[in-house]
């Protein structure tokens, strides 16, 4: 029997938005510019009063007091309110293994949980709403701690709903992050999880939405970007530490993914805080 992965120990949490809000009948997806609301964040709702409806994953959820609701990132959802809904809500991400993959995009969980202590969770949300915009180290740390407390019920349910496929995804992501400096091939990754290379490649792409080897390159490029912040490291050293055997190959792939060579990226992008981060495709 496979051991349950300790993924929660390696989560990177971030809060994008946290608010307390009162909504009326105008809170309806049909009134939104886009009829199906899709965003790159997890959404957590804690209703305090009233009633609303969320439709996603083929199921209707009644947003009502005493419960907390999760909507994973990039999930099409339809909202409506039949009168009045008072709620706390937040947008957040929980990235796994320093990647750009949110854990709730990978692992299945329950999306509606009845709270045993609503008052405790109300205090967590209230505090988070007060501090999440403060730009200081202590507040940032506290925000992550509060978020961690809030999502514990969903992580607990996650442990009970794992499938063999999801364990495989976990093992692959874990291996990639721990071996980011080493050469990697589809054959080697398939050996790690004991699967046929073609089957693993197809399964990963279907679940994650990106081919396995492309994901490996994206993670190497992201890792290299972090290393580029250290001006003492030469481009060749960064290439090696990012798992590229040749600096020429590294430069070619880096430019393909970012639009810049590593040297230009370091000089023009990282040195200028006013320029937005390049999106890795």
pLDDT one-digit tens code per residue, 176-196: 888 999 988 999 999 999 999
H or E segment to which residue 145 belongs: helix 137-158
Q: What is the pLDDT of residues 99-133, one digit of tens each?
A: 667 888 877 789 999 999 999 999 999 999 999 88
CB 122 within 8 A of CB 35: no
> pLDDT value at position 4?
45
Q: How far is the C-alpha of 154 from the C-alpha of 151, rounded, in Å?
A: 5
Comparing 165 with 236, the larger pLDDT belongs to 236
Q: What is the pLDDT of residues 29-87, one digit of tens each?
A: 887 655 456 677 899 999 999 999 999 888 999 999 999 999 988 788 899 998 999 99
Mean of pLDDT over the chain: 85
> pLDDT value at position 97?
65
> pLDDT value at position 79?
93
The token pair at 18 is 């946290």
pTM of the model: 0.65
Percent of the chain with pLDDT over 70: 87
Q: Where do the CATH 1.10.10.60 domains begin and end in the chain? A: 164-270
> pLDDT value at position 73?
85
> pLDDT value at position 204?
87
Give the model's confidence band at 2: pLDDT under 50 very low, under 70 low, under 90 confident, else very high. Answer: very low
Q: Hey, what CATH topology would domain 7-158 get?
A: Jelly Rolls (2.60.120)
CATH assignment, 164-270: 1.10.10.60
Percent of the chain with pLDDT over 90: 50
Q: Where do the CATH 2.60.120.280 domains begin and end in the chain? A: 7-158
Q: How would you label 236-263 residue by residue, b for 16+ Cβ within 10 Å and e otherwise?
A: eebbbbbbbeebeebbebbeebbeeebe
């Amino acid at each position: 029997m496979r051991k349950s992965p300790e993924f929660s120990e390696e989560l990177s949490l971030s809060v994008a938005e946290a608010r307390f809000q009162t909504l009326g009948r105008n809170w309806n997806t049909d009134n939104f510019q886009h009829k199906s609301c899709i965003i790159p964040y997890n959404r957590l709702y804690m209703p305090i009063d009233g009633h609303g409806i969320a439709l996603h994953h083929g199921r209707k959820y009644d947003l009502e007091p005493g419960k907390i609701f999760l909507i994973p990132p990039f999930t099409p959802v339809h909202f409506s309110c039949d009168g009045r809904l008072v709620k706390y809500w937040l947008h957040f991400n929980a990235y796994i293994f320093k990647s750009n993959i949110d854990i709730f995009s990978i692992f299945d969980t329950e999306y509606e949980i009845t709270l045993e202590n609503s008052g405790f969770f109300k205090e967590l949300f209230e505090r988070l709403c007060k501090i999440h915009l403060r730009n200081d180290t202590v507040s940032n740390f506290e925000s992550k701690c509060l978020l961690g407390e809030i999502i514990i019920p969903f992580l607990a349910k996650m442990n009970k709903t794992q499938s063999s496929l999801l364990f495989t995804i976990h093992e692959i992501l874990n291996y990639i992050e721990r071996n980011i400096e080493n050469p990697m091939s589809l054959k080697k990754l398939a050996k790690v999880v004991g699967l046929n290379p073609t089957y693993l490649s197809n399964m990963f792409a279907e679940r994650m939405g990106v081919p396995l080897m492309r994901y490996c390159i994206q993670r190497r490029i992201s890792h290299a970007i972090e290393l580029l912040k250290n001006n003492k490291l030469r481009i060749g050293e960064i290439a090696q530490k990012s798992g590229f055997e040749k600096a020429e190959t590294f430069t070619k792939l880096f430019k393909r993914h970012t639009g810049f060579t590593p040297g230009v990226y370091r000089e023009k992008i990282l040195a200028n805080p006013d320029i937005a981060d390049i999106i890795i495709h």
